[in-house]
Amino acid sequence: LQHQALAAIAAAPTLEALDAERVALVGKQGSVSALLKTLGAMSPEQRQVEGPRINGLREAVTAAIAERKAALEQQALDARLASERIDLSLPAPERPRGSIHPVSQVMDELAEIFADLGFAVASGPEIEDDWHNFTALNIPETHPARAMHDTFYVEPTSTEREVVDRWASGPDIVLRTHTSPVQIRTMTSQKPPIRIIAPGRVYRSDSDATHTPMFHQIEGLVIDRGIHLGHLKWTLETFLKAFFEREDIVLRLRPSYFPFTEPSAEVDVGFTWTDGKRVIGGSGDVPGGGWMEVLGSGMVHRRVIAACGLDPDEWQGFAFGTGVDRLAMLKYGMDDLRAFFDGDLRWLRHYGFAS
Ligand code: PHE
């Protein structure tokens, strides 16, 4: 029996099989247990002989089971360690990655450039009221400049009306036609000195290769004591040099008109045609050169400062506004504004904005 039992134990392939062997041998009904029970019925002489034999058998079987059990457990552990091994040096599997859209990229670049000049980023609502978008900016209701803006008017529902009335000054609601209302929102909520830029979406009812009904502007506003046109020119020059990453940027300030600035200037940068491409930099007054309008700007109109509750004799400032999409086109050489909003990856890849 011993020989057979030890062979069966050594051959048990799994912990479950081994346990079945254990029950069959030393369990209550097991064959070794049955042998032990026969001792009781034996004569003392017989027991003296059989006792040590049967007990020895039981001990040998128990020891063999323990040994086999330890071996099987070790085997199971080895198998687990082998199968669960993680190689931390393996490169991670590739995942599709998104990329930064040129508009976002340019807004980030601008925020960074102006942060270095001490400008904070401000924002305002895209659904704006007539007062912030026009009236406070010295564009009264009858002003012809309103017609220039191709405004989208918004008709709030009666429930929206309740919400709108809590923040709107006046009944007319528009999609803001420029970022200039953020000038008003900043001047009415912060004490000067003020130095902010305000990037964001604006809306005009217009659509062709260079106009989309939604586009992006960035506004700049400085309000302090003793601010003059020289500060404006230096700021724009510094900003455009940093943005186009060239020291030889030449600016031309052309007298212009905006209701909210006086005097007003449109700002051009010089460019030259090089290898059939327009390259920003240098004076536009050279043969083959030209000027490209990039900004609207001016000294903040006294009436605008006063409309915001500030004393225009104490506080002066300058403001400027420009199209973010336009700046992106100029810097990265795109020619169709509409493509910015098509979400076509091939277009993004072509200009190096997606892989
Ligand atoms: N808001 C003007 C526009 O949209 C740009 C501008 C901003 C001009 C600030 C002057 C000062 O055309």
For the residues of 250-263, what is the DSSP string, one character each?
Answer: -EEEEEEEETTEEE
The protein residue with its alpha carbon nearest to ligand 1, atom 9, reads: 320
- Residues 107-125, mean pLDDT to the nearest whole number: 96
pLDDT recorded at residue 148: 64
In sequence order, the β-bridge partners of residue 91 are: none
**149 compared with 82, residue with greater pLDDT:** 82
Answer yes or no: is pLDDT of 145 > 80. no
Integer distance in angstroms from the first to the last C-alpha of the chain? 75
Q: Whose CA is nearest to atom 4 of ligand 1?
A: 178
In this structure, of 56-65, 221-230, 264-273, 331-340, the range with the lowest mean pLDDT score is 331-340
For the segment 131-144, the average pLDDT, to the nearest whole number, is: 88
Is 45 annotated as a binding-site member? no
Q: Does 298 sit in the ligand 1 pocket, CB within 6 Å?
A: yes
User: Which pLDDT belongs to residue 157?
Assistant: 82
Query: Using a 6 Å cutoff on CB, does residue 151 contact ligand 1?
Result: no
Q: pLDDT tens digits, residue range 173-198?
A: 899 999 999 999 999 999 999 999 99
Structure tokens at 111: 């925020």
Mean pLDDT of the chain: 90
- Report whether residue 299 contacts ligand 1, using a CB cutoff of 6 Å: no
How much of the chain is in helix, strand and coil states, percent to nearest 5? 45, 25, 30
Determine the pLDDT at residue 164.
73
Confidence band of 149 (pLDDT split at 50, 70, 90)? low
Q: pLDDT exceeding 70 applies to what percent of the chain?
A: 98
* pLDDT tens digits for range 232-281: 999 999 999 999 999 999 999 999 999 999 999 999 999 998 888 888 99
Is residue 261 within 6 Å of ligand 1 at its C-beta?
yes
pLDDT at 112: 96
CB burial readout 145-181, b (16+ within 10 A) else e: bbeebebbeeeeeeeeeeebeeebeeebbbbbbbbbb
The predicted-structure confidence for 60-78, as pLDDT tens digits, reads as follows 999 999 999 999 999 989 8
Here the contacts of 157-163 (C-beta below 8 Å, separation 24 or greater) are: none
pLDDT tier for residue 199 given thresholds of 50, 70 and 90: very high
Q: What is the pLDDT of residue 220?
A: 97
Between residues 99 and 106, the one the model is more confident about? 106
Q: Are strands 127-129 and 289-300 parallel, antiparallel or unpaired?
A: unpaired
Report yes or no for ipTM above 0.90: yes
